[in-house]
Structure formats: C-alpha cells, structure tokens
Amino acid sequence: MYKQNHSAAKTLHMNKHISFFLICMFILSVFTFSCDTLRKGPSDSASKSRYKNSTNRSSNSRTAAARRPVNRTTTKKPGAPSKTKPVISGNSLRARPSGSYNAEVPKVVEVARTYSGTPYRSGGNDKNGIDCSGLICSVYSEIGVKVPRISWQQSEFGSEVGSIKELKPGDWVFFVPEAGKEGYVSHAGIVTDVRNKDEIIFIHASTSRGVREDNLFSTYFKGRFVKAMRPF
C-alpha cells in the first residue's frame, strides 16, 4: 500500500515538472516569435516595396521623358526681295495701244534702244539673246501691247506704208535674203529716226552683230528692203 502511494506521488510530481517545462517552452517560443516579429516589422517590408515601386516609376518617367520627341520650331528666314523684272502675262496684253499710236512711238523707240548690244539668238526673246522678230514682239510686250511673233506674220500686221518717203518712227521695215530678188521675208526692224530723205534709221537684231541701229539706205539693206508696215 505504501509503495503504491509513493509511486503515485512520484508520478504526479514528474507530471508537474513536465507540465511546468512545457509551459516554460511555450512561453519562451511565444516570446521569441514576438521579438523576431518586432525586429523585422511589417513596415520594413512595405517601405522596401514602396521604395522599389517609387524607384521603378521614377525610372520609367525618366525613360519616357528621354524618349519623348522634342518639339523644335524652325524659323524660316525671309527671302531676299526679288530683283527680277515683272513679266507681263500674255493674257494682260492689249490688242492695241490704249491711246493713239503716235503718242506711244517715243516709248517704243526708248524701249527698243534698251536692247542695243544684245547678242543675236535665233528664237530668243530677251536680253540674253534675241532675234529680229523677237525684238519687235518683246518691245511691244513691254509697253503692254500684243503683236505677232513671227516675221512673216508681222509683215502682214497693220497697214502697209505706201512708199519710203512716208516712213516715220514706229513703222516696221522688212527685208528678203537676197538683194534685187523676190523672196520670203527673212528680216525685220523698227524705224527709230527719220533724219532726212537719205537717212532713215531702224533698229534690228543683226545675226553677226546683235541688236544695233543701221541706215535703211546703206548698200546692204537698200537692195533687200521689200515693204514697210504701220502696225496701228
């Protein structure tokens, strides 16, 4: 009986020790877990996450800024004013002078003489090079009047002058290729001055000397002269 009681008391005592030990271990583990949690803290992880996200957004913003095209405004410099003489359009040319032709003749002669020295060029129409019918056409274009461009058409334009004695400035004179022979009109000019009965000056585009003034009664031209026209 005594042994049984002693054994029961011993077992109870051991159970108390084991229970105490387990309780101590549980308390220790709870304490350790709490300390570890407090040491790490949830805020550290969240802070690192926010910092990482913030860094990524900042990096993305810089990258986007670097790739964004820059608007460049280019200022176009104003061009230098053109020095080219305005050309009168064919549509704005008149069929005849607005007033009397006699009033326009001094202007015709003045403009024609500005071409003096221009080299001859077949088919040319300006001061870089011009031919005889082109000279007539260009002079009248500059005063705003449209006339034919081809010499044979010019030789039929206006009214024919009856004789050399009736020639006056502004009349057109026409020539054939060979002296003393009939033929097609091959050359033309504008009368610029009538000095006397043996000196009638006209301006024309010479094939060898360019635009110049000559006397209708010179040996070369007198034999080749065939007709004269008063355009208006």
H or E element that contains 175: strand 172-175
Question: Would you report the helix, strand and coil content of the chain in percent, each value rounded to 5?
Answer: 45, 20, 35
Would the pLDDT of 113 be above 80?
A: yes
Q: What is the pLDDT of residues 46-88, one digit of tens each?
A: 444 444 444 444 444 444 444 444 444 443 444 444 333 444 5
Would the pLDDT of 133 be above 50?
A: yes
Residue 130, helix vs strand vs coil = strand
H or E element that contains 44: helix 42-67
- Determine whether 13 is an active site residue: no
Q: What is the pLDDT of residues 148-199, one digit of tens each?
A: 999 999 999 999 999 999 999 999 999 999 988 888 999 999 999 999 999 9
The Cα–Cα gap between 181 and 168 comes to 25
Single-letter residue type at 205 = A
CA–centroid distance for 60 within its chain: 43
User: Out of 6, 13, 35, 132, which one is annotated catalytic?
Assistant: 132
User: Out of 6, 24, 137, 204, which one is annotated catalytic?
Assistant: 204
- Determine whether 6 is an active site residue: no
Query: What is the structure's pLDDT at 8?
Result: 53
